[in-house]
Amino acid sequence: MFCAVTVSVESLQAAEDFHLFTEKFLGAEDNEVTRYVLRFDEKRFSFIPPPGWSVKSDAAKRTITVLPEDLKAGITVKFEQESDGAAPELNTKELRKRIQERYPGAKFTREYEFPVAGQPGAAFDVVRALEKNTRAGMRMVFTRYAGGIVEFELTTSAARLSDYHVVFSRMLYSFQMPTPDGNK
């Protein structure tokens, strides 16, 4: 009983520390722009979602989900923390293995570098079978920050993946985070 209570308290503290909110600022030609800001572990991350897409956070899983109105695609942003607070190296071999373990049978169609917030990122385009005649297309980008790794995953049908390249790229280009050395 005592252990279960302790775990629940730790989970509550982690959830309370993961806080997503919005800020408005003036963009090009004095247009008002809404940016989402995430604060956790005294770090600040921010991004501008695609226009018309909804944004939702899950503090327990340390994820943010961004969805269009038609639900034909989705972007998940996952924040992983290192226990020692260090910024881990991005090992593409290990990242490929992680993807294969999560999505058995997935086929890699492309592997490349994709910078996020001025930091190097490792990107993978992946296709996997969902059902007999249904294939999902995914673009996964990993980058590091002072304390862990941020994983971005765009998922849609394999046939429509290229339709979302610009939308996904714009969101990643807007992403701001602490650098691996802890600077902003």
Q: Which CATH number characterizes residue 122's domain? A: 3.40.1000.10
Per the structure, how many domains does the chain have? 1
* Domain ranges, residue 139: 51-174
Lowest mean pLDDT among 4-8, 35-39, 55-59: 4-8
Q: Do the domain assignments include residue 129?
A: yes
Tens-digit pLDDT profile for residues 124-164 = 999 998 887 889 999 999 999 888 899 999 999 999 999 99
Percent of the chain topping pLDDT 70:
85
Residue 28 in tokens: 């090009």
Higher pLDDT, 184 or 63: 63
What is residue 32's predicted lDDT score, i.e. its pLDDT? 84
Q: Do the domain assignments include residue 55?
A: yes
Q: What are phi and psi of 164, to 5 degrees?
A: -110, 5
Q: How confident is the model at residue 7 (pLDDT cuts 50, 70, 90)?
A: very low
Q: What is the pairing mode between strands 54-58 and 121-131?
A: unpaired
Q: Do the domain assignments include residue 81?
A: yes
111 has a pLDDT exceeding 70: yes
For tokens 């979302």, the residue is 164
* Amino acid (1-letter code) at residue 107: K
- Rg of the chain in Å (alpha carbons): 17
Distance (Å, whole) CA 50 – CA 66:
8
Instruction: Spell 118-134 as b/e; 16+ CB within 10 A means b.
Output: ebebbbbbbbbeeeeee
Tens-digit pLDDT profile for residues 171-180 = 999 999 886 6
Q: Do the domain assignments include residue 70?
A: yes
Q: Do the domain assignments include residue 3?
A: no
Q: Do the domain assignments include residue 100?
A: yes
40 has a pLDDT exceeding 60: yes
Distance (Å, whole) CA 184 – CA 103:
34
Q: Do the domain assignments include residue 8?
A: no
What is residue 13's predicted lDDT score, i.e. its pLDDT? 39
- Neighbouring CB atoms inside 10 A of 164's CB total 21
